[in-house]
Structure 1
Amino acid sequence: MELQTASATAAVPRGERRKRQRFVAKRWGQVCFWVVIDGERLPVNDLSLEGFSVPWGSPLAEPEAFPFVLELEGIPDVIRGMAETVNFVLAMDGGLMGCRFVALSRDATERLHEWLTLHVISTATIRITEADAAAIVSGPSLV
């Protein structure tokens, strides 16, 4: 697998919050994005072009880089790359580990943009064009 440095996030200091819009990784109340880390398939909590968060039991002692496989429910293609842990948010049932993309396979960035654009269109409560959805995905955080 050929990996490339994720240029959009490489200059962002460790612990810095994502600058791009995050999307809840559910569709009609069901998880639709999954990530496989160390052979374990975990539900993605939220996802952006910069990274993702997943349920995690406790914070790591040190930041860690790791390979991952991102999946979209019902789609046979996957996105492979490297991510690093950047933060942990405590919750009653453990917490959420925030991860930033460090390197993605050559076509992964385009595929992720397509997946998120489709996700925005399919979860919108008003009619939205593909161009509008793509602009939302590429644009800054609206929250």
Structure 2
Amino acid sequence: MSKHENASGAERRKRQRFVATRWGNVCFWVEIDGVRQPVNDLSLEGFSLSWGVPLPEPLDLPFVLHLEGIPDQIRGTARTVNFVLGAEGGLLGCRFLSFEGDGAERLHEWLTIHVISTATIRISETEAAAIVSGPSLV
């Protein structure tokens, strides 16, 4: 196991993670080195995406996040923190290091909208925002 992998397998994020699909369709995308890829899951702390092989060492990666159907972007830098091999390949976990401009606030807004639109019961914007900001529920 490389230094880059999380030896305990424990979740590192303290905030709630959200599956980056809506009704079976990818709605969050990340662009790294000019390549747009679907996001697996997303939180205020970071994201994961499919990745072929483990990286030998952690890397700081400039990224651009996209929300399907929204022309705005969120730019920043993330650090690779772990790699998990699963049945369908590997997942690379990345932790946000910094955002350009109002990127952190925009991410919170995007996730709040995502929670409202995917909830199976009626939920207010205030309740959705609290879920996004709150601790992990799983």
Q: Is TM > 0.5 for Structure 1 vs Structure 2?
A: yes
Q: Distance in 1 between matches of 2:73 and 2:83?
A: 25
Alignment of 1:142 with 2:126, yes or no, is no
- 2:66 maps to 71
Q: Equivalent of 1:97, from 80, 92, 116?
A: 92
Give how far 1:91 is off: 1.6
- 1:8 maps to none
Q: Percent of aligned positions with the same letter in both sequences?
A: 75
Give how far 1:92 is off: 2.8
CA contact (8 A) 1:45 1:54 kept: yes
The amino acid across from 1:115 in the alignment is W
- Where does structure 1 lack aligned partners over 5 or more consecutive residues? 1-13
Q: Distance in 2 between matches of 1:93 and 1:56?
A: 10
Local SS of the residue matching 1:121: helix
Number of residues paired by the alignment?
130
Give how far 1:63 is off: 0.5
Q: Distance in 2 between matches of 1:62 and 1:24?
A: 26
CA contact (8 A) 1:57 1:93 kept: no
> 4+ runs of 1 displaced by more than 2 Å?
none
Q: How large is the RMSD of aligned CA atoms in angstroms?
A: 1.3
Give how far 1:39 is off: 0.8
Alignment of 1:56 with 2:51, yes or no, is yes
Please report the TM-score for the alignment, with normalisation by the length of structure 1. Answer: 0.88
Q: Distance in 2 between matches of 1:124 and 1:92?
A: 28
Local SS of the residue matching 1:52: strand
- 1:129 maps to 124
Please report the TM-score for the alignment, with normalisation by the length of structure 2. Answer: 0.91
- 2:21 maps to 26
Q: Equivalent of 2:36, from 15, 21, 41?
A: 41
Give how far 1:93 is off: 3.2
